[in-house]
């Protein structure tokens, strides 16, 4: 039985408020020791690397990994710990921040589409097109009619990608308000982490309830059979890393990348 099945949102016709994050325990640790999970992660990493190599060689499919979550939910830490075994030659990491002047001059999905992984590639999005729903929702930047339209457009966009051989894995890193407060405080106190915090993080923490409401709508309205969401308990960092590694491995196994067959008859060629 898949140990993470309970964290996968089933694709159903949900209402905007059906998913309630208060019902999901952000401190779940998998009931395994840290040592056991770290050991298993090393095994996962080796297998992921082997499958990535086959994916690159086959050059006919690609994988898009999306990381979403509130500030300090562990997106950077996930990339450092889970993706460290990937070959940079066929892997790309993209962080999406507030749209710049050029990006704002295009439709909101333009900057996303140009970063979609090429065939044979794996791309990791640190934040994504969902920022164009979450932030406008929290800060009342666009009308409700536009928000509703964007839910539909993003669902259609992700369906289009999957129909073109791009597998999408979406992770929501779920932490508690207290855990976010603790991590933000650590960033203030640790000089090596000062670069990771700014005034907006404190403001966003005060808007916790608004962010939870916005994410509940996204999770309810944008989890489909072609691109479902995983709600990953992320208070416990080693479980977060283990869980995401496990899902990535299983998705790659389902993709079944294989080395391409030799296109020439080796008996007809001789290397002098």
Segment 60-69, tens digit of pLDDT: 999 999 999 9
Segment 6-17 shows an average pLDDT of: 65
Closest CA to 241 of 171, 168, 140, 180: 171
Give the pLDDT score at 15.
58
Q: What is the 3-state secondary structure (H, E, C) of 172-232?
A: EEECCHHHHHHHHHHHHHCHHHHHHCCHHHHHHHHCHHHHHHHHHHHHHHCCECCECEEEE
Give the pLDDT score at 262.
86
Alpha helices in 83-207 (DSSP H): 101-104, 110-113, 131-138, 144-163, 177-189, 199-206
What distance in Å separates the CA atoms of residue 234 and residue 11, rounded to the nearest whole number?
Answer: 22
Q: Average pLDDT over the chain, rounded to whole?
A: 94
Residue 2 clears pLDDT 80, i.e. is over it = no
Residue 14 clears pLDDT 60, i.e. is over it = no
Q: Is residue 217 part of a domain?
A: yes
What distance in Å separates the CA atoms of residue 68 and residue 234, rounded to the nearest whole number?
Answer: 11
What distance in Å separates the CA atoms of residue 66 and residue 168, rounded to the nearest whole number?
Answer: 8
Residue 31 clears pLDDT 80, i.e. is over it = yes
What range defines the domain where residue 125 resides?
5-258
Q: Are strands 62-68 and 122-126 parallel, antiparallel or unpaired?
A: parallel
What distance in Å separates the CA atoms of residue 107 and residue 127, rounded to the nearest whole number?
Answer: 17
Segment 213-269, tens digit of pLDDT: 999 999 999 999 999 999 999 999 999 999 999 999 999 999 999 999 988 877 777
Domain containing 121 — which CATH number? 3.40.50.300
Give the pLDDT score at 20.
94
Segment 191-220, tens digit of pLDDT: 999 999 998 999 999 999 999 999 999 999
Confidence of residue 189 (pLDDT cuts 50, 70, 90): very high
Q: Is residue 140 part of a domain?
A: yes
Confidence of residue 272 (pLDDT cuts 50, 70, 90): confident
In percent, the amount of the chain with pLDDT more than 90 equals 86
Q: Is residue 160 part of a domain?
A: yes
Q: Is residue 43 part of a domain?
A: yes
Q: Is residue 59 part of a domain?
A: yes
Q: Is residue 269 part of a domain?
A: no
What distance in Å separates the CA atoms of residue 147 and residue 215, rounded to the nearest whole number?
Answer: 13
**CB of 103 closer than 8 Å to CB of 111:** yes
Take residue 138 and report the two structure tokens written for it: 């929290």
What distance in Å separates the CA atoms of residue 115 and residue 113, rounded to the nearest whole number?
Answer: 5
In the chain, the number of structural domains is 1
Q: Is residue 249 part of a domain?
A: yes
Q: Is residue 267 part of a domain?
A: no
60 φψ region: left (φ > 0), alpha (ψ -120 to 50), beta (else): alpha
CA dihedral (240, 242, 246, 252) in degrees, to 10, reads: 90
Residue 42 clears pLDDT 90, i.e. is over it = yes
């Amino acid at each position: 039985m898949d140990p993470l099945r309970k964290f996968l949102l089933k694709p159903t016709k949900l209402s905007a408020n059906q998913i309630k994050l208060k019902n999901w325990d952000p401190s779940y640790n998998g009931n395994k020791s840290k040592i056991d999970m770290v050991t298993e992660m090393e095994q996962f990493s080796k297998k992921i690397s082997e499958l990535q190599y086959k994916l690159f060689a086959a050059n006919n499919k690609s994988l898009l990994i999306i990381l979403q979550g509130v500030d300090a939910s562990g997106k950077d830490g996930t990339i450092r710990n889970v993706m460290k075994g990937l070959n940079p030659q066929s892997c790309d990491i993209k962080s999406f921040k507030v749209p710049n002047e050029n990006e704002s001059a295009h439709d909101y999905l333009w900057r996303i589409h140009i970063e979609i992984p090429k065939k044979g590639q794996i791309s990791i999005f640190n934040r994504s097109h969902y920022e164009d729903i979450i932030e406008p929702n929290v800060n009342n930047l666009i009308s409700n009619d536009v928000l509703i339209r964007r839910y539909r457009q993003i669902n259609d966009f992700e369906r289009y990608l999957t129909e073109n051989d791009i597998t999408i894995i979406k992770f929501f890193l779920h932490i508690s308000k207290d855990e976010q407060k603790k991590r933000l405080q650590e960033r203030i106190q640790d000089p090596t982490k000062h670069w990771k915090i700014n005034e907006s993080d404190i403001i966003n923490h005060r808007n916790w309830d608004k962010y939870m409401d916005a994410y509940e709508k996204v999770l309810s309205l944008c989890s489909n059979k072609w691109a479902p969401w995983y709600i990953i308990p992320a208070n416990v960092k080693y479980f977060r890393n283990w869980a995401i590694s496990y899902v990535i491995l299983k998705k790659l196994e389902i993709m079944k990348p294989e080395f391409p067959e030799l296109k020439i008859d080796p008996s007809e060629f001789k290397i002098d």
